[in-house]
Amino acid sequence: MAASVTAPLMERSDELRNVLDERPGAETPGEEWVMAKLVDRTRALEEQLIQLARENLKLRELAHHDALTGLNNLRGFRTQLAQAISLANRHGGSVSVLMIDLDGMKHLNDTQGHPAGDIGLRGVGGILNSSVRRSDMAARLGGDEFGVLMPQTQMRSAKEVAERIRARVEELPIPGNCRLSASIGIATYRAIPGRDADEAAEELLARADEALYAAKNRGRNRVEVHADGELEAA
């Protein structure tokens, strides 16, 4: 009976042949022994698959996150921005973006060293995380430039958040009694049904960048907004 049960399985499964190689002595194993071994192997395989899934999830997270600050990176930011605009186009509303550039980072790195600069960057990351809503996204876009995505947010509310961030960065304690400040540009997208989301996202980022450069050129440590094609102080 046992031989008739195991023979077809041996022909179909390399895994079963491995199991049979573990049988005690030279005797033909019973059906219960074979099934118990297969269950053990199946459980081990399931655990390996779960671990692999966890590792893949970590890799995906790393691909969209900045290692130093723990914030999202540029890739994740752009992906979420396009999705937010797509949702706004379908359901109505506005999407606002803050582009943030830190003033004084080069001086901090030159005088106190890059470890001090890293402390400043992590501190700014913490400020951004604690200044936005759960539905928003804060990201480090590269170097000393950050961004905040604010779905379903009009310009007025975005200004309030930007000013709160600017004030907190100015008070951030930095090694060597140094100080950082933030120049911030804001732009808001108003839903246009049928508009290509990727194209709208690029345009919105360009407008926010233009406002950011205006903030840098007008004295730094300030907020500028890009409203209906015009630049104005917040």
Domains and CATH numbers, the chain: 2-63 (no CATH), 74-233 (3.30.70.270)
Give how far Cα 160 sits from Cα of 2, 17, 97, 115, Å.
Answer: 77, 68, 13, 31
pTM to 2 decimals?
A: 0.73
Q: What's the pLDDT score for residue 94?
A: 94
Would you please indicate which residues are annotated as catalytic (active-site) residues?
144
Q: What's the pLDDT score for residue 25?
A: 53
The rounded Cα 111 to chain-centroid distance in angstroms is 31
pLDDT in tens, the chain (234 residues): 444 444 444 444 555 555 555 555 545 566 777 777 777 778 777 777 666 666 555 555 555 689 899 999 999 999 999 999 999 999 999 999 999 999 999 999 999 999 999 999 999 999 999 999 999 999 999 999 999 999 999 999 999 999 999 999 999 998 888 889 999 999 999 999 999 999 999 999 999 999 999 999 999 999 999 976 444 455
Residue that the structure tokens 């005690």 belong to? 24
Q: What's the pLDDT score for residue 37?
A: 73
Note whether 186 and 159 are within 8 A (CB).
Answer: yes
Q: What's the pLDDT score for residue 42?
A: 80
Give how far Cα 140 sits from Cα of 27, 35, 104, 227, Å.
Answer: 65, 53, 17, 24
Count, in order, helices (H) and strands (E) of the chain.
Answer: 8, 6
